[in-house]
Structure 1
Amino acid sequence: MNHSSVSSGSPSPAARTGDAVRRMTARSRDEEHRASTPLELFFDLCFVVAVAQAGGRLVHAIADGHAGHGVAGYFLLFFAIWWAWMNFSWFASAYDTDDVPYRVTTLVQIVGVLLLAAGVPRGFDDGDFQLVAIGYAVMRLALVTQWLRAARSAEGEDAAGARKTAVRYAIGVTACQAGWMVLLLPHGAPPGWAFLVLAAAELVVPPLAERAAPTSWHPHHIAERYGLFTIIVLGESVAAATVAVQSAVDEHSALGDLLPIAAGGLLIVFSAWWIYFAVPIHDYLVSNRQAFLWGYGHYAVFTSAAAIGAGLEIAVEQAVGSGDISLRTAAWSVTIPTAVFLFTVWLLHSRHSKHGVAQQLTLPVAALGVLACAWTGEHAVLWAGLVCAGAVAVGVALQAREPV
């Protein structure tokens, strides 16, 4: 499916500074030097709070022997975080006007993020998702007002299609949000099947809405936005692991036991960064079909990247004897999310630029190798880090052998 702009495009906000209110017409997909704005970066940083809350509760659940409950709650809450972030990012790529109403509405969405983050502990511990539901509603309904504004501002040859797409988005998001409020506002954890139904409904809104006319998202901008959020999530993993090591050293003076975990964790995170950014992806994002699969697949990339940090915290707690955590559980807590990250980055990202069997197999084989590290005992994290670093080294060597 070929992707075309909803309209012929409009000047970038930088070219129209000083306007308090602008028409929210689609930006050009061919706009040069399109980069993330300071407001988008601020928006991303505020999401770190919610990511940290979800990861922290996952650690506590596993440490208390409730791994199943913790993993399920983590995936549920991270879906709300990821989906709200993703919807804002794709909308902004097509319609960012950077005027006063747009900025205020985005700041309102940030308030919703903070409310959701504040509700994470109650949702995890008590099954009370009321505050999570309210925060999610603030984020989503603020986005509805943006879509309605885009519908009202549509102009040009494709105005009818653009207006229909925007209205479909507004209706779809509102309908899903009504379902979430019914599901989450009553006290008590929602049934799993109901969550899956509403999550599926959320996922089908964009494909259905864009049948009328595709929005003019910018491939370079989208690739940068996803890359920046990946960096933020990996950074949160580093921060979480650092705090865990510091606390363990302060309370248990177990530096010798923690050095292999710290070294392995850094190798994993450094390798994850290297692997994700080894090749540009914007040239692959040429249609809605490819972009939707790539964008949706990043749910696994983001959840696994954040879970690496949680796993490192669990490994630290096991090493110092805090909590009821077995050696194998601690190892799986790091190796599983690391393997998922390696495989999904290859599946979504890297394989499109790989040539030959050796290059294609490097990351899948490394993912299997990382999983096998769970059987290496107390140094599982260090071995997993060495496998990841080895995958990077092999990838660099194979790329260097290619003819220029």
Structure 2
Amino acid sequence: MNAPNIAGEPEDARTERHASWTELFFDLVAVAGVAALAHVLGSEPDAAALGLYTLLFLAFWLSWTTFMLYSNVTAGKTRVIRLMIGMFGLGVMVASVPGVAHSVLGHDGDTHPPTVFAIAYIATRIYGSRSWRKGEVLLDFPVVQYSTGLLPWIASIWVPGRWMLALWAVGIGLDLLLILAVSGNKLLKQAQAAFTARAGIRHQPVHGVRREGTLPAIHGVSVHPAHFSERLGLFVIIVLGESVVQVIGAAADAHYDVGVLATGLASFVLLAGMFGLSVVFGYAGLPHLRAGRIPARAALGLHCMVSGVVATVAVSLSAVMKHGSDPLPEQGRWLLCGAVATYFALGVVTGVVSHSSDLQRTISRIVTGIVVPLLLGLFATGAGGRTLVICMASVVLAHLWFERRLAPIADGA
């Protein structure tokens, strides 16, 4: 049984489904955690802050993915109380982010020790991994059913300081390695072989008495493609909406003038343009993707990176609001330019792997979307943050203009 591509089945093959109100509620709580990561980067992000930001984002995203895939596969049999408990775990993680930032980076906001985040993450992931019915093996993303990556997190509870973060990184690294290396079909075959062996032992006579009992049948399950792509797209949309809220919040604290209005407009155009590229001209929240072109596991990996980059752009835009027309610090300039360049780089990857880009489109996307932001990051040392945001918004608008003018590449082209 092979894992399907996203939206790789016609709607009449499987009952059409949409995200439920409970699932949307759950997504909002998860995105609140992404927004809380702004406490980590602060006003002048350095390598340590960016590393911690990435680590915590992956923890939030893996927790969200565990419950998202559970509700996707179980459909009408999803237990609402299970999602609510998962939401509570995510909420505890959100509340403890400032404490982690204070403990590790010295930022303000020491409300909870970092062990609170670790314990909440461990509990949420374990509880989520136990959501599956006995005998089910998720073929598309089996890492959510296993807890190997949690062992370093558990050990970190008794380890102070930066060694704790090192263990967190090892745990996340193990999960990422499992995502890349572990095949759902291979796990299914191993589980079925183990089931057959246990079933044979169960029915062997012992001291003249035959053992009786039943074991759950082992079978593979796959994601519902349409519902899966909808959840990915909705998550990116909510991250974009939360990004707008962050910019508005930063603008509310700034001295109102024409410059603030121009920065806010350019920021909105930039985020709205990303919405257009990821949703209107993309699929499942991924820019330049087409339905049914890549496996679900690849879509999840790209979705993780796109969501994280969009959240990073929001932090950069909020910093520009605070600095006004003044030049951004070097770290802040590279954070903004690098995040935008990474977003377009991911768009190039999705366009190539889903065969939605020809050579001309790929080259134009690389030059305008990647090279231009990187050149600005390298040479625009004296440019104000407002000017950089206007330049980035112009790049996005140019991409939208090209997408509207160019005809889509037909399937099989």
Q: TM-score, normalised by structure 1?
A: 0.78
Contact 1:111 1:135 in 2 (8 A): no
- 2:228 pairs with 217, 222, 225, which one? 222
Q: Which one of 168, 172, 181 corresponds to residue 146 of structure 2?
A: 172
In the superposition, relative to structure 1, how do residues 34 and 164 fare at CA in structure 2: closer, same or farther (>3 Å)? Answer: closer
Pair 1:51–1:4, CA change in 2 (3 A): closer
Q: Which residue of 1 aligns with 2:244?
A: 238
**Paired residue secondary structure (1:51):** helix
Would you say the 8 A contact 1:36–1:225 is kept in 2?
yes
Q: Distance in 2 between matches of 1:351 and 1:145?
A: 33
Quick one: structure 1 residues 172 and 273, their matched pair in 2 at CA, closer, same or farther if it must change by over 3 Å? same
What is the deviation of 1:177?
2.4
Matched, 1:396 2:404: yes
Aligned CA distance change for structure 1 residues 29 and 304 (closer, same or farther; 3 Å): farther
Aligned to 1:138: 123
Q: What is the Cα deviation at residue 122 of structure 1? A: 0.8
Contact preservation (8 Å) 1:304, 1:340 = yes
Structure-to-structure mapping, 1:297-316, within 5 angstroms: 297-316=302-321
Equivalence for 1:56: 39
Corresponding residue for residue 103 of structure 1: 80
- Secondary structure of residue in 1 paired with 2:15: coil
Determine the structure 2 residue equivalent to 1:24: none
Contact 1:271/1:389 (<8 A) preserved: yes
Query: Secondary structure at the residue paired with 2:254?
Result: helix
Matching of residue 90 in structure 1 with residue 69 in structure 2? yes
State the distance in 1 between where 2:128 and 2:320 align: 39
Deviation at 1:81, TM superposition (A): 0.6
Deviations 1:199-244 (A, max 9, x none): 1322344535552334221121111111110101111111111110
CA deviations 1:139-175 (Å, max 9, x no partner) are 112213212xx11xx5xxxxxxx36979x868722x3
Q: Closer, same or farther in 2 for the Cα pair 1:368/1:119, shift >3 Å?
A: same
RMSD of aligned alpha carbons = 3.0
1:73 matched to which residue of 2? 52
| C-alpha distance 338-184 of structure 1, shift in aligned 2 (>3 A) | farther
The 1:215–1:205 alpha-carbon spacing in structure 2 relative to 1, beyond 3 Å, is: farther
The residue identity in structure 1 corresponding to 2:127 is: A
Instruction: Tell me the alpha carbon deviations over residues 252-299 of structure 1, each in whole angstroms, 9 at most, x when there is no partner.
Output: x4x2332332222122111111111214443124xxxx3222212222
Aligned AA (1:144): S
- Tell me the SS of whatever aligns to 1:348: helix
**Would the aligned equivalents of 1:112 and 1:135 in 2 still touch at CA under 8 Å?**
yes
Does the 8 A contact of 1:54 with 1:120 survive in 2?
A: yes
Question: Contact 1:318–1:327 (CA<8 Å) still a contact in 2?
Answer: no
CA distance in 2, matches of 1:310, 1:121: 15
1:189 aligns with 162
Distance 1:351 1:338 in 2: 20
Q: Could you tell me which residue of structure 1 aligns to residue 209 of structure 2?
A: none
**Are the structure 2 counterparts of residues 74 and 319 from structure 1 closer, same or farther at C-alpha, using a change threshold of 3 Å?**
same
Task: Read off the aligned partner of 1:189 and give its amino acid letter.
Answer: R
Q: Which amino acid aligns with 1:257?
A: G
Q: Kindly tell me: are residues 170 and 398 of structure 1, through their superposed partners in 2, closer, same or farther at Cα, counting changes over 3 Å?
A: closer
CA contact (8 A) 1:130 1:186 kept: no
- Report deviation, 1:84: 0.9
Evaluate the alpha carbon distance shift between residue 57 and residue 208 of structure 1 in structure 2; reply closer, same or farther with a 3 A threshold: same
Query: Which of 291, 305, 308 is the equivalent residue of 1:282?
Result: 291
Q: 1:334 to 1:261 in 2, by over 3 A?
A: farther
* AA in 2 matched with 1:304: V
Larger radius of gyration: 2
Aligned counterpart for 1:291 among listed residues 282, 288, 296: 296
Output the CA distance in 1 between the equivalents of 2:60 and 2:353: 27
Q: How many residues in Structure 1 have an aligned counterpart in Structure 2?
A: 351
Change (3 A) 1:339 1:139: same
Cα pair 1:271 1:392 within 8 Å, conserved: yes
- Equivalent residue number for residue 202 of structure 1: 175
Contact 1:91 1:217 in 2 (8 A): no
> How high is the TM-score relative to the length of structure 2?
0.76
**Distance in 2, Cα, partners of 1:337 & 1:164:** 32
Identity of aligned pairs, percent?
19
Q: Which runs of 5+ in 2 are unaligned?
A: 6-10, 105-112, 189-219, 284-289
Query: 1:367 corresponds to which letter in structure 2?
Result: I
The amino acid of 1:312's aligned partner reads: L
Aligned equivalents of 2:403, 2:84: Cα separation in 1 = 41
Match of 1:8 in 2: none
- Select the structure that is richer in helix: 1
Letter in 2 for 1:382: I
One-letter code aligned to 1:140: R
Tell me the equivalent position of 1:32.
Answer: 15
Cα deviation for residue 53 of structure 1 reads 0.9
Deviation track 1:75-96 (CA, whole Å, cap 9, x = no partner) reads 1110101111122222322223
Please report how far the alpha carbon of residue 248 of structure 1 lies from its aligned counterpart in structure 2 after TM superposition. 0.5
Q: Does 1:126 align with 2:103?
A: yes
* 8 Å Cα contact 1:315-1:334 kept in structure 2: no
